[in-house]
Chains A and B, each alone.
Chain A
C-alpha cells in the first residue's frame, strides 16, 4: 500500500516537472500565437522579412546538415578505425562545441573573419563578406552542430567492429565501397539520429548566429533572430507565430527521430 502511494507520488512529481518545464512553454507559445486568431498569426508569417528568415533558416540548416553529416561520418570513421598520435585529444576536441558557449563560438569566427580579423578585410574587399552575411551564419552553425553526427556514430561504429568491413575488403571492395555499402548502412540508425539532432540544433541556434549575423532584417536574420527582433519591437503575435512554427518544425524532427529509433529497435539493429 505504502509502495503504491510512493509510486504514484513520484509519478505525479515527474509529470508536474515535465508539465511545467516542457509542456507549458510550447502550449503558451501556441496560445500566444493564436491569441488574436489564426488569421493574425498567418499574416505575421507572411511578412516579407519573416519569409526571408524562414528561407534563410531552411537554407542554413540544409547546408549545415549536409556538410556536417559528411565530415561527421568521416571524423567518426577515422577516430574509431585508425589509431594515430593525438587521437584521444581529437575525440575531446570534437565534443568541445557541446561545452563551449555558442556565443564564444560565434566570437571566434568574428575574430577570424571580421573586418578587424585576419582575413575579413581582404575578403570584404574582394566582395565576399563573411561576417554579417549568410556565410558567417553558416560557419557559426557548423561550429555548434559539428559534434552530433560524430558523437552518435562513434559508439555504433565501435559496436559494429571491423569484421564486416574486413569481410567486404576480402570480397574485393575498396574503401569507398566499404563505407557506402557496409559501414553506413550498418550504422544508419545512428547516422539518422545524428543528422536529425544536427537539424534540430541548426534550426534553433541563436547564440553563435547572433554574434555573426548583424541582425539585418530580410537579409541575415534567421528564424530565432527574427523572433527576438519581433518581440523587442512589441509585435507579440508575429513573434509567437514565428516561435510556434519553429517549435513545430523542431517537434517534427524529434518525432521522426523517435520513429526511426523505434523502427531500428524493432529490427534488432541497435544492440
Chain B
C-alpha cells in the first residue's frame, strides 16, 4: 500500500514543526525518515498515523485521501518508541487486542484469534511466551511483542518510531536484519523514524533526510552518500571535516597554508571545504606541513597536521611507505566539496567524486568508498 504526502504542514505555537513536506512511498518499500532530533520525523509519522493533526496538506494511502479519517480507522500498524505494551495484559492478550475489540460482525472467533496469536508468536520467534506479562520480558522480546501486536490486524502499512533506541547494541544488530526480513516476507510498506544513519542505510531502500521540519534530500542511501544535496546532508551521512578558507578567482584557498588550492565556481569570499576521510591525500616532500599519524583504519589514518601556526586533526589516506611522522608535506583535498552558507558553491553535487585523481597512482575512490562506509559503522 503506497503512502503519499502532499505539502503537509503542522504548526505548534505558530512555529512549523512539519514544514511543507511532500513524499512518495511506494508499495513494498522500506523508507527511513532520518535526521537529528527536532527535525520533525516523529511528528510526520504521527500525522501519517492520524495521531496528530495537520494544518495543511493531504495524506493518501493507496491513492485514497485518509487525513479526514480517524486514526483508529486507518488500519496502520504503529510501533511506539517504548513499545507501549499494555502492562496489565499477557503477551497473548496484547497481541490479540486489535482483533478482540472489533465489532461482533467482523470479529474472528476465539479460536481464530488464538491461532493468529500463535502464528505471530512463531513469526516473532517468541514461542510459548503468550502467558507472560510484559515486565517479565527482555527489551528485545518486548519489541517483538509490540511488532506482533501492530501486525495482528493485518495492516499493509507499518510505521516504526525509533524502534531500536531502547536496545543494547548487540541485540540491535540482530533485530535489524530480522525486521527487514519480516518486512520482505509480509510484503509491508514500512516507514521507519531514526536518527541513526547506519540503521537507516542498513534497513531502508529509500532515505528521506530531514532537518527543521523539511526534507533535505530523499533517495537511496547510495545517492545520499554520493551526491549529497547540501553540506548538511553530506555531514549527516558521513564523517566529514570542515576546512575553513576562501574562494578567490575560481579557486578555494584553505586557511591552512599547505593545502593545495581546489577549483571552485562562485563569487569570491569566505567558504569552507568539506572532506571525507578518503578525500584527503598527503603529498610528502611537496610542502611545509608536518603530520603525525595517531590512528590507523585500513588505508586511512587520523593525522594531526601542523601547518603554519595551526594544528588540525583530520582523516587522510596514508601515503604508501609513510612513517608515523610525515614531514614537509602538502595536502591535496581536491575531492572535497566547497560550501558557503549551507549551500554548495557552483551548483549542487559537483566538484566531488567525478574528479579523477591527477596522478592516477592513488587508490581508486571506488575501492575506498566501502572502507569509508565501514568506518562509520560501530
List residues 65-94 of chain B with CB under 8 A from any CB of chain A: 71-73, 75-78, 80-82, 84-89
Is A81 an interface residue when CB atoms closer than 8 A count as contact? no
The CA of A166 and the CA of B42, in the complex, are separated in Å by: 14
> Do residues A171 and B97 form an inter-chain contact, with CB atoms below 8 A?
yes
Cβ–Cβ contact A268 & B135, under 8 A: yes
**Contacts A181-B101, A269-B88 known; A170 to B135 CB distance under 8 Å?**
no
- Say yes or no: is B150 at the interface (Cβ < 8 Å to chain A): yes
Determine the distance from Cα of A188 to Cα of B75 in the docked complex, in whole angstroms.
Answer: 29
Which residues in A have some Cβ–Cβ distance to B below 8 Å?
163-164, 166-174, 177, 181-182, 185-186, 188, 268-269
**B73 and chain A: residue at smallest CB distance:** A172
- Residue B211, interface by CB 8 Å: no
Residue contact B71 to A167, C-beta cutoff 8 Å = no
Q: Cβ of A188: which chain B residues have Cβ within 8 Å of it?
A: 88
Contact partners of B98 in chain A: CB under 8 A: 171-172
Residues of A near B78 (CB, < 8 A) are 166-167, 170
Known: A170-B71, A170-B76, A181-B97; 19 extra A-B contacts, CB below 8 A, are: A163-B80, A164-B84, A166-B80, A166-B84, A167-B86, A168-B97, A168-B101, A170-B49, A170-B150, A171-B72, A171-B149, A171-B150, A172-B75, A173-B97, A181-B86, A185-B86, A185-B89, A186-B88, A188-B88
Q: With A181-B97, A188-B88 in contact, do A172 and B102 touch (Cβ < 8 Å)?
A: yes
A171 touches B88 (CB 8 A): no
On whether the beta carbons of B80 and A172 are closer than 8 Å, the reply is no
Q: Which 9 A-B pairs have the closest CB atoms?
A: A171-B98, A163-B84, A167-B84, A170-B78, A185-B88, A172-B72, A164-B84, A163-B80, A169-B72
Q: A170-B76, A171-B149 are in contact. Are A163 and B71 (CB under 8 A)?
A: no
Most central of A167, A185, A269 by chain B CB within 10 Å: A167
A163 interface neighbour in B82, B149, B150, B152, Cβ under 8 Å: B82
- With a cutoff of 8 Å between Cβ atoms, the chain A residues found around residue B56 in the complex are none
Q: Which residue of B lies closest to A168 (CB)?
A: B97
Q: Within the complex, what minimum Cβ distance (angstroms) separates A82 from chain B?
A: 14
Q: List residues of chain B with CB within 8 A of the CB of A177.
A: 101
List B contacts of A268 (CB < 8 A).
135
- Whole-angstrom distance between the alpha carbons of A167 and B153 in the complex? 13
Q: Which residues of A contact B186 (CB under 8 A)?
A: none
B51 at interface (Cβ–Cβ under 8 A)?
A: yes
Interface size of B by Cβ–Cβ distance < 8 Å? 27
- Does the CB pair B77–A170 fall under 8 Å? yes
Q: Provide the bound-state CA to CA distance between A185 and B77, in Å.
A: 23
**Residues of B close to A169: CB separation below 8 A:** 51, 71-72
Q: Establish whether residues B87 and A167, one from each chain, have CB atoms under 8 Å apart when the complex forms.
A: no
Closest to B82 in A: A163
Query: Residues of A contacting B84 with CB < 8 Å?
Result: 163-164, 166-167
A170 touches B72 (CB 8 A): yes
A186 and B101: CB pair below 8 A?
Answer: no
- Taking a contact as CB atoms under 8 Å apart, the answer to whether A173 and B101 are in contact is yes
Least CB distance from B50 to A in Å reads: 8
CB distance A167 to B149 under 8 Å? yes
Question: Looking at B78, B86, B153, which has the most chain A CB atoms within 10 Å of its CB?
Answer: B86
Contact of B72 among A164, A173, A181, A185 (CB under 8 A): A173
How far is it, in angstroms, between the C-alpha of A180 and the C-alpha of B82 when the chains are bound?
Answer: 22
How many Å from the CB of B31 to the closest CB on chain A? 19
B73, B80, B88: which contacts A167 (Cβ < 8 A)?
B80
Query: In whole angstroms, what is the CA distance A170 to B69 when docked?
Result: 12
A186:B72 contact, CB within 8 angstroms: no
Minimum distance in angstroms from A218 CB to a CB of chain B:
46
Chain A residues near B72 (CB-CB < 8 A)? 169-174
Give chain B nearest CB distance to A203 CB in angstroms.
Answer: 29
Residue of B51, B80, B88, B97 contacting most chain A CB atoms (<10 Å): B88
Can you report 8 A-B residue pairs in the complex whose CB atoms are below 8 A from each other? A166-B78, A170-B49, A170-B72, A170-B78, A172-B72, A172-B98, A186-B87, A186-B88
Chain B residues contacting A185 (CB-CB under 8 Å) are 86, 88-89
User: What are the residues of chain B within 8 A of A164 when measuring CB–CB?
Assistant: 84-87
- Give complex CA distance A269, B75 in Å: 30
**A170 to B51 CA separation, bound complex (whole angstroms):** 8
